[in-house]
Amino acid sequence: MNTYINMGTLKLKYVVLNATILFIVTCILEMTLHEFGHFFASIAVHAKGISIHHNYVSNIDEGLALKSILFIKGAGPLVSLIIGIGFHLACSEQKKRNFTFLFKLYMALFGYIGFFGYLMIAPIFTGGDTGYICSALKFPIWLTIGIAIAGAILLYLLVRNLMKYFVEMGSKEILEKKESRISFVHSLVLLPVLLGIPFTTLLNLPIVALISLIAPICSPFTLLWDYSNALHKNYDLKTTNDNFDRLNKLNFILIILLIITIIYNRILVKGIYYN
């Protein structure tokens, strides 16, 4: 098996490509599921003028009780939290480190960002999901800031836990050598963030609120909070990727998934109207 140990010949362009595609696919999928949480919550409370779009849900909340509006606002972050926990647990149970595992790993990451990220911005964006809830419930600013700080701390701890799984996507041979590990982590973690953000930002256009643009630009950098450990920490790696060559080959299934993602995202720009 070719393990690509020599840094002079270590070619990881397809690791970068495949990870970037999965970054884009999962980021947009999690965002869409988050919005469907708002969408179905709006239907459940019998709101009027309901429509779902690529990064927002529109409804008329006039006449709705406050608890119904809060339910709609909270449904999206709650869906994200469920996604984060569910896929995190799935990662902890899976033994093989492959494309399916990386998909689950990104879904867990973006799920957590979709919940704790909204907690972090609650003091700033009072019109956002959690910001609105805190404002509507008349939380004192110190409490809202405290919630934001707690959200940031919890998100950091969760990212630290997930980072080990990203490292495990490398083969044992690659991870044993400092130079090859650094090159691998750059290819799997750093470059997909830098290359993926412009694509996910474009797929968030057009926007109706500034937060819809800030989120895809800023939130993925959460993955880099524990980047130093990914590069250097001596993890107890009981599981590694025993089929690394597949990760570093062009995967046409991922390309198909990317095309499907772009198509449904652009369809949602036009919107799906319920009533």
Lowest mean pLDDT across 5-19, 22-36, 104-118, 221-235: 5-19
Q: Determine, yes or no, domain membership for 67.
A: no
Per residue in 227-260, is it b (16+ CB within 10 Å) or e — as a string? bebbbeeeeeeeebbeebeebbeebeebeebbee
Task: Please check whether residue 80 is in contact with residue 30, taking contact to mean a CB–CB distance below 8 angstroms.
Answer: yes
| Domain-located, residue 100 | yes
- Which tokens go with 178? 């400092």
pTM reported for the whole predicted model: 0.94
**How many folded domains does the chain comprise?**
1
The answer to the question of residue 75 being in a domain is no
Residue 48: the pLDDT is 95
When pLDDT is averaged across residues 231-249 and rounded to a whole number, the result is 91
DSSP notation for 10-72: ---HHHHHHHHHHHHHHHHHHHHHHHHHHHHHHHHTT-EEEEE-SS-EEEE-TT--HHHHHHH
Name the percent of the chain lying above pLDDT 70. 96
User: Has residue 265 been placed in a domain?
Assistant: no
Tokens 């799935």, located at residue: 90
> Quick check: is 224 in a domain?
yes
Range of the domain at 188: 17-28+81-252
Residue 154 domain flag: yes
Residue 267 lies in a domain: no
**208 is a domain residue:** yes
